[in-house]
Structure 1
Amino acid sequence: RAYRMTETRGIIHRRVQSIIFVLIATACFLAVSVLLVFAPLLGRLAEAHLEWIKPYMGTITIWRYIIASTVIVIGLFSVHIWLPAGKRRFVSIIPGIVFTLVAWLVGS
């Protein structure tokens, strides 16, 4: 309905595609959770026991955020491109992705 397209794909195709996207989304959420929640705890533990890692913690933190943000953005693009029926232009999906990112930022 959102894209004003009629569904032409079969029910089995849609169900298999949905299951695959759920598995991929689960892996992405797990990766983001590990990078943003669990990694700081591991970082503090590493700093306490490994002296040589202290100068690199700022760089590690920046890369954690870059990788987590990239996973979220790629996931949003793939969901907007492949899940709904029909073809969309890249420009037409940008507003939905920006809205989702802003809503997540405000909600968090």
Structure 2
Amino acid sequence: MAAPLLAEVAKFGTAFARRAYGDWTGNSLRSWKEQLLTQSIQPVQQFAYTSGKNATDSAMIIDAMDLLYTNRFDGFCLASSDSDFTRLAARIRESGLVV
């Protein structure tokens, strides 16, 4: 699952920060654990205290903005199953980076 995405990203450059956000204590993400290890992706734990995904989305947005303000990156790859990050992508583009 992660390998094809990272292969596509590699066409644009090196992915220096690789993170995956979710509740890694549950069963729903269990199949991702080996891929995180083999692809050097850092899991970011976000406990599912309530239903919905706003806390996970917020964590990803905060981390992306922190990375943006380091001025160390030429571009970003945001991978998600929804369109919640449209504004984040637009903001990163406003800073002159490829998304």
What is the TM-score with the length of structure 2 in the denominator?
0.30
Higher strand fraction: Structure 1 or Structure 2?
2
Which of structures 1 and 2 has the larger relative contact order (alpha carbons within 8 angstroms, sep 6+)?
1
Q: TM-score, normalised by structure 1?
A: 0.29
Bigger Rg over Cα: 1
